[in-house]
Amino acid sequence: MLEAVDNIEDIKSDTEGMKLEIENLKKDLQETKESNTKLKGLMAEKEQAFDEQEHYSRINNVRIFGVDDNKRTETAEEATSLICSMFHEKLDLQIGDKDICVAHRIGRFSTDGNQAIICKFVRRSTKKMVIRARGQLKGTPIVIREDLTVITCSTVIDK
């Protein structure tokens, strides 16, 4: 009988120890949850700041789709010349290579499709001029769009 009482006391002692350990684990879990919430908020702030920086870096850019792509090794100079002539012929805009910082194809070359061209203008006013004139391209395979970030693009699509 004495042995049974000792066993019961041992079990009570073990139970108290386990209760204390459970309380400590609950506290640790709560601290971890709070830390996780803070980190999620910080990460959202950083993502927003990164998107704003990326948007600002793309502010003078447009993407041009539908321009014939028949040369696998087209250089940036050739792409610039090609879109300058397209701006002149299709949009009646006098934009020269001095107005373009850089233009090049993006994506993989494909014999059955056209790679888009990304064009960075020297001045934002030149980009705005092209954006205003792009309506003249209706009925042609050429499309000019602003170069949006992934987050901005998904926001525009959701609206």
List the Cα angle 55/102/136 in 5-degree steps. Answer: 80
More confident residue, 138 or 12: 138
Quick: pLDDT tens for 47-98: 999 999 999 999 999 999 998 887 778 899 999 999 999 999 999 999 999 9
- Does pTM surpass 0.85? no
Looking at the DSSP bridge assignments, the partners of residue 146 are 62
Taking Cα atoms as reference points, which of 114, 58, 105 lies closest to residue 78? 105
Structural domain count, the chain: 2
Mean pLDDT, all residues of the chain: 89
How far is Cα of residue 61 from the mean position of the Cα atoms in its chain? Answer: 15
More confident residue, 114 or 30: 30
Co-location of 141 and 70 in the same domain: yes
DSSP 23-77: HHHHHHHHHHHHHHHHHHHHHHHHHHHHHHHHHHHTTTEEEEE------TT--HH
Q: Domain containing 91: what range?
A: 60-158
Co-location of 93 and 104 in the same domain: yes
Residue 31 has pLDDT above 60, yes or no: yes
